Amino acid sequence: MTKTIKLEFPIPGIKGEVEIKDIEIDKIDLDPENPRIGYWTDNQVKETFTQDEIAFALREKSDAIRRLKMSIEVSGGIIEDIWVCKKNNRYLVIDGNTRLEIYRDLSKKYPHVNKWKKIRCKVLPGKIDDKIKNFIRLIAHLRGVNDWEVYERARILYILWNVKGYTQEELESYTKLNVTQIKRLIGAYKDMTEQFLPKFGFQADALSKFSYFVEYENPKIKQAMKEANLTTKDFCEWVGTGQIKRAQDVRDLRDVFEDKDSKEMLIKRGYQYAIQQLSTKRPGFSSKLFDHVEQVLDGLKTMSRADEEEIKDDDTSSKKILLKELLSELKKFFDER
The residue among 63 and 93 whose pLDDT is bigger is: 93
| Torsion 120-122-128-129 (CA) sign | negative
Q: Residue 185 contacts by C-beta under 8 Å, 6 or more apart in sequence?
A: 150, 153, 154, 157, 158, 177, 214
Q: Taking the model in full, what pTM does it have?
A: 0.61
DSSP 8-state secondary structure symbol assigned to residue 125:
-
Per residue in 287-333, pLDDT (tens digit) is 566 567 667 777 887 888 888 888 888 877 788 788 888 888 778 77
Contacts 24+ apart (CB under 8 A), 156-164: 156/35, 156/38, 157/182, 157/185, 157/186, 157/189, 158/185, 158/186, 158/189, 158/190, 160/134, 161/186, 162/186, 164/130, 164/134
The angle that helices 97-109 and 51-59 make with each other, rounded to 10 degrees, is 90
Partners of 86 in the β-ladder: 91
Instruction: Please report the pLDDT score of residue 144 as a whole number.
Output: 46
Per residue in 76-96, pLDDT (tens digit) is 998 888 999 888 889 999 888
Radius of gyration (Cα) for the chain, nearest Å?
27
| Torsion 110-116-118-124 (CA) sign | negative
The rounded mean pLDDT for the chain is: 82
Partners of 120 in the β-ladder: 22
Cα distances from 169 to residues 175, 176, 227, 315, in angstroms, run 10, 10, 32, 62
| Torsion 75-76-80-83 (CA) sign | positive
The residue among 215 and 332 whose pLDDT is bigger is: 215
Return the closest-CA partner of residue 142 out of 35, 60, 32: 35
User: How far is residue 296's CA from residue 293's CA, in Å, rounded to a whole number?
Assistant: 5
Instruction: Please report the pLDDT score of residue 61 as a whole number.
Output: 64
Average pLDDT over residues 235-260: 91
Neighbours of 210 (CB within 10 A): 25
Return the closest-CA partner of residue 127 out of 14, 29, 2: 14
Q: β-strand 15-24 against 3-8: which pairing, if any?
A: antiparallel
Instruction: Please report the pLDDT score of residue 201 as a whole number.
Output: 85
**Residue percentage of the chain with pLDDT more than 90:** 30
